[in-house]
């Protein structure tokens, strides 16, 4: 249910500001987004299975809308994300979004004294939000917080892409590929998902953050026909698994794992290669997104890097914010001195 609904006159007419605790109230006007972390269904999963206290800050006029999906934390409001999210952004639609952003950012000072927003792309939406925060009296800081490795295929087929892989990786694939049998499913498969969970539990990775949510997301993507779920077996035992999705010419690599005792098989590499061939030659993707994290092995498969940034904004008149503001000012000064 919307709460704290306010109306004010903007330069271009009436602006309505409202705050909601569920994306369900916004689905009719949410929009048709073509990325997994931008759909209303994604935020609904976060609400239901990740234990978040969601706050959707909304500004509307006759022709435009701005939505900021946020959540309450001990320190104020932050972007509504978790460790599975590749990015976060403000959702802007219509011709008057700058005015709406200014109104919403101004009113947000009544809701909290501190905002923390990440991981954000370095793009116009981020610039617009940062400008609106600064224009409405917030003390704003930006810093690089993560790295996003991507593969821009430039219309290449898999054979051309494979030929450009590092020589050592190509040799590994040639030597090891026949040691595993690979299954790729384009629908959610309970047995394959059970294999994934068993492999992850016996991998080098930390305990899964939200396994119930991840499975629900995989099932959701399976129903939509976007899932690419793959398992590699050696002598009948499942040793590696990966969970990808594909839509609108982009493949997203969500999860990958292999058993610790199967490292020498390089089953994960063979599985990545098989999935690359599938999404490039069968799905016809033009981009592969490897999510966040600057893991060295990603550089072997990807050919470009995008920065992800964090925006922190403080109400400077709040004494409780002064230590944090001073800390960030000192940090920025040190960075400038190092760069000069």
- Topology given in CATH for the domain delimited by 3-147+307-339: Aminopeptidase (3.40.630)
pLDDT tens over the chain, length 340 residues: 455 556 665 556 789 999 999 999 898 888 888 899 999 999 999 999 888 999 999 999 998 999 999 999 999 999 999 999 999 999 999 998 999 999 999 999 999 999 999 999 999 999 999 999 999 999 999 999 999 999 999 999 999 999 999 999 999 999 998 999 999 999 999 999 999 999 999 998 889 989 999 999 999 999 999 999 999 999 999 999 999 999 999 999 999 999 999 999 999 999 999 999 999 999 999 999 999 999 999 999 999 999 999 999 999 999 999 999 999 999 888 888 877 6
0.85 surpassed by pTM: yes
Contact 216, 243 (CB under 8 A): no
- Is 155-285 the same fold as 3-147+307-339? yes
Q: Produce one character per residue of 293-309: b if its CB has 16 or more CB atoms within 10 Å, e if not.
A: eeeeebeebbeeeeebb
Each domain of the chain, given as residue ranges in start order, spans 3-147+307-339, 155-285
- The pairing of strands 250-258 and 287-292 is parallel
- At 175-232, the pLDDT tens digits run 998 999 999 999 999 999 999 999 999 998 889 989 999 999 999 999 999 999 999 9
Task: List the alpha helices (DSSP H) in 50-96.
Answer: none
User: What region does 100 belong to: left with phi over 0, alpha with psi -120 to 50, or beta?
Assistant: alpha
Q: What is the pLDDT of residues 280-319, one digit of tens each?
A: 999 999 999 999 999 999 999 999 999 999 999 999 999 9
User: Are 90 and 67 within 8 A, CB to CB?
Assistant: yes
As its CATH architecture, domain 155-285 has 3-Layer(aba) Sandwich (3.40)
DSSP-assigned states of every residue in 267-314: HHHHHHHHHHHIIIIIS--SEEEEEE---TTHHHH--EEEEEEEEEEE
Helix/strand/coil for 337: helix
């Amino acid at each position: 249910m919307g709460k704290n609904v306010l109306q004010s006159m903007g330069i271009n007419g009436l602006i309505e500001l409202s705050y909601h605790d569920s994306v369900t109230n916004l689905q009719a006007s949410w929009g048709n987004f073509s990325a997994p972390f931008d759909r209303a269904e994604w935020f609904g999963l976060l609400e239901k299975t990740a234990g978040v206290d969601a706050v959707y800050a909304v500004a509307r006029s006759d022709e435009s809308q701005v939505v900021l999906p946020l959540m309450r934390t001990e320190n104020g409001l932050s972007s509504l994300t978790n460790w599975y999210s590749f990015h976060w952004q403000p959702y802007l639609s219509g011709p008057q979004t700058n005015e709406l952003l200014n109104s919403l950012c101004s009113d947000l000072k009544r809701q909290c004294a501190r905002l923390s927003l990440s991981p954000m792309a370095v793009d116009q939406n981020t610039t617009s939000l940062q400008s609106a925060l600064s224009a409405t009296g917030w003390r704003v800081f930006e810093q690089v917080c993560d790295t996003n490795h991507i593969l821009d295929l430039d219309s290449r087929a898999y054979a051309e892409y494979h030929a450009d892989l590092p020589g050592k990786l190509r040799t590994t694939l040639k030597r090891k590929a026949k040691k595993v049998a690979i299954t790729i499913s384009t629908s959610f498969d309970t047995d394959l998902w059970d294999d994934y969970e068993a492999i992850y539990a016996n991998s080098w990775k930390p305990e899964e953050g939200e396994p119930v949510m991840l499975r629900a997301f995989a099932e959701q993507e399976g129903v939509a026909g976007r899932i690419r779920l793959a398992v590699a077996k050696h002598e009948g035992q499942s040793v590696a698994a990966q969970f990808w999705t594909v839509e609108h010419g982009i493949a997203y690599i969500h999860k990958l794992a292999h058993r610790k005792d199967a490292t020498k098989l390089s089953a994960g590499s063979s599985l990545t290669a098989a999935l690359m061939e599938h999404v490039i030659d069968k799905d016809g993707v033009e981009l592969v997104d490897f999510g966040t994290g600057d893991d060295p092995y990603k550089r072997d498969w990807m050919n470009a890097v995008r920065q992800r940034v964090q925006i922190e904004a403080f109400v400077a008149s709040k004494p409780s914010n002064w230590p944090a503001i001073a800390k960030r000012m000192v940090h920025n000064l040190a960075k400038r001195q190092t760069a000069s």
